[in-house]
């Protein structure tokens, strides 16, 4: 049974600075020469890019519902065999959601450190910390860490307010040269923050001497039995769009394609690149096409290649932003409308309010695939769905999945290892 120092980084709520603190901690240990593996709870494509930059290693998702307990155990055990430290960043507040981050930490025996944004409080910090520490006595509560602290005097007030039963792990200041920029879907991706490494270094410097920066206790990770995957995509060449417009991809999804026997290549619509030679199937992930709609509309070489691929009846799968690229037009938040590929009938418009958020599952001929949805845009199309997802906590209808010829598209971001056969059918152009 592999063992490794491990720590779960939770928070009192969203927006407390979990990613900043987790990334700073990963960078601090990495520059000490340790091999650090970071995981992110729940569905997230943005925070993991920053955590990967900080740690120097790929960042996988953990979630008891979407990923499943068995796959979570496998991912943690594999990391424990190669790493000197495992960090797991939570989602929302520590006890938010069903299942919550606390549920996962409890299931895998992870000690929990909680980040609290203290910029607008003093002694109340102690009350919040005590409540989090005592809410579930079974949780291995490691301590609390204060973020966005105004001064050393402020820090002393916060520490003095803690009951003796709750460990003080230190603090970092609330300076703008440490904070990570945000926008409508969350943080910016790592490649969009020009001074990210400098910010990570400053954040690592700030917490270097804190108790949080000491190695946490080791956790044991048992390895569930695993069976080899069937070579359902043997010999298939799959081209994946990959650039700033199409970057919302679970690393486990791409690994799955390779494990199933596919050869995976990438191309960039933003660079107006053609499809790789001898492409059998295309995958257009989600991302930010609305931020790059003008460039996508101008780039005819990529557009012509994808249209020719679709005209030849070869499989094409598009998720969320990838689906918007396939439509006739896309209207951004400023009201400007740009033509898209026109391979699916319909139009999309970016709204000011969140249109959909949450875990969903979709059922087809190959069984259930789990995933999530998160978007601000709305699509109007005459296409009738071939399948409709359901929400994780109810039978309420979720995102539709559309098919036109060999094109399959949906807002749903699937976690493909939850049903490899489902995705193999899509990339073969078979019935789903």
Residue 243 DSSP symbol: B
Tell me the β-bridge partners of 8. 88, 112
- Rounded to whole angstroms, the Cα distance separating 185 from 355 reads 11
Q: Which residue has the tokens 């000690």?
A: 111
Measured distance CA(242)–CA(410) in Å, rounded: 18
Query: Which residues have CB under 8 Å from 371's CB, separation 6+?
Result: 43, 66, 359, 360, 361, 362, 389, 412, 413, 414, 415, 418
320 tagged catalytic: yes
Q: Do 7 and 216 form a contact (C-beta atoms < 8 A)? A: yes
| CA-closest candidate to residue 289, choices 299, 278, 304 | 299
For residues 297 and 306, the answer to whether their CB atoms sit within 8 Å is: no
CB-based contact 194:155 (threshold 8 Å): no
Active-site hit among 236, 320, 356, 407:
320
Place of tokens 């971001």: 413
Strands (E), 167-270: 168-173, 182-183, 186-187, 218-220, 237-241, 246-248, 263-267
The tokens for 371 are 């995933």
Closest by CA to 246, choosing from 299, 309, 325, 307, is: 325
Residue 36, phi then psi, degrees to nearest 5: -115, 130
Give the catalytic positions in this structure: 320
């Amino acid at each position: 049974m592999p063992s490794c120092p491990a720590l779960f980084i939770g928070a009192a709520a969203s927006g407390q600075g979990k990613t900043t603190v987790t990334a700073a901690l990963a960078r601090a240990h990495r520059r000490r020469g340790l091999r650090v593996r970071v995981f992110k709870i729940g569905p997230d494509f943005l925070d993991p890019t920053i955590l990967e930059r900080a740690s120097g290693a790929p960042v996988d998702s953990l979630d008891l519902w979407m990923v499943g307990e068995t796959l979570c155990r496998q991912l943690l055990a594999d990391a424990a065999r190669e790493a000197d430290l495992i960090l797991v960043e939570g989602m929302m507040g520590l006890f938010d959601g069903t299942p919550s981050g606390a549920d996962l930490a409890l299931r895998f025996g992870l000690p929990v450190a909680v980040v609290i944004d203290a910029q607008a409080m003093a002694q109340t910090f102690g009350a919040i910390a005590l409540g989090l520490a005592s809410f579930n006595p079974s949780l291995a509560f490691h301590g609390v860490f204060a973020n966005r602290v105004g001064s050393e005097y402020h820090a002393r007030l916060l520490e003095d307010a803690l009951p003796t039963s709750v460990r003080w792990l230190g603090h970092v200041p609330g300076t703008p040269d440490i904070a990570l920029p945000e926008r409508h879907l969350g943080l910016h991706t790592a490649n969009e923050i020009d001074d990210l490494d400098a910010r990570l270094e400053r954040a690592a410097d700030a917490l270097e001497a804190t108790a949080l920066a000491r190695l946490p206790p080791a956790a044991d990770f048992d390895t569930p039995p695993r069976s080899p995957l069937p070579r359902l995509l043997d010999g298939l060449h799959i081209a994946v769009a990959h650039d700033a417009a199409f970057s919302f991809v679970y690393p486990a999804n791409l690994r799955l394609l390779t494990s199933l026997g596919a050869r995976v290549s990438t191309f960039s619509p933003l660079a107006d690149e053609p499809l790789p030679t001898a492409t059998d199937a295309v995958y257009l992930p989600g991302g930010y096409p609305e931020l790059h709609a003008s460039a996508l509309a101008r780039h005819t070489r990529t557009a012509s290649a994808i249209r020719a691929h679709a005209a030849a009846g070869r499989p094409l799968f598009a998720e969320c932003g990838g689906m918007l690229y396939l439509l006739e037009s896309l209207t951004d938040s400023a009201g400007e409308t740009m033509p898209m590929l026109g391979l699916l009938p319909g139009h999309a418009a970016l709204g000011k309010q969140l249109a959909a958020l949450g875990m969903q599952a979709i059922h087809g001929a190959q069984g259930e695939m789990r995933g999530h949805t998160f978007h601000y845009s709305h699509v109007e199309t005459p296409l009738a769905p071939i399948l409709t997802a359901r929400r994780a906590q109810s039978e309420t209808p979720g995102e539709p999945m559309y098919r036109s010829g060999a094109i399959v598209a949906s807002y749903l971001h699937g976690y493909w290892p939850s049903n490899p056969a489902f995705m193999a059918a899509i990339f073969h152009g078979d019935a789903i």
